[in-house]
Structure 1
């Protein structure tokens, strides 16, 4: 399982994609939509989780693309 991916506001404007524990952004985007698309691809490839943060930094959405410890009951 790879690093969880976080989509967060970037201090210089726009949104950034960061791997969990990384000090630098993987990539910076003008829109949150572009950042989410990029981060989703990484999370699926690495079978990790995607955390989407709002402009204040709070997590607004979380998606699991790997070994989910709490899978939905069907």
Structure 2
């Protein structure tokens, strides 16, 4: 089963990684770039997985698949 993570805008200008279906963020960051890098490492460790990157307004900007 594929694990899906989202890089999304958090509260008060932060960025977060959130596993799909989770109520709380896995981890919060000051910048989108930091959240993206952490998300890539999570996906690499938890293959098969997908990383979905959102814009600040919530729209999907990009996504990456990490297969076994």
Q: One fold, TM greater than 0.5?
A: yes
Structure 1 runs (4+) greater than 4 angstroms displaced: none
TM-score, structure 1 normalization:
0.84
Output the aligned Cα RMSD.
1.2
3-state SS of 2:3 partner: coil
TM-score, structure 2 normalization:
0.91
1:22 and 1:3 mapped to 2: Cα distance? Answer: 11
Stretches of structure 1 that go unaligned for 5 or more consecutive residues are: 68-74
Q: Write 1 or 2 for the structure with the bigger share of helix.
A: 2
Stretches of structure 2 that go unaligned for 5 or more consecutive residues are: none
Q: How many residues align?
A: 67
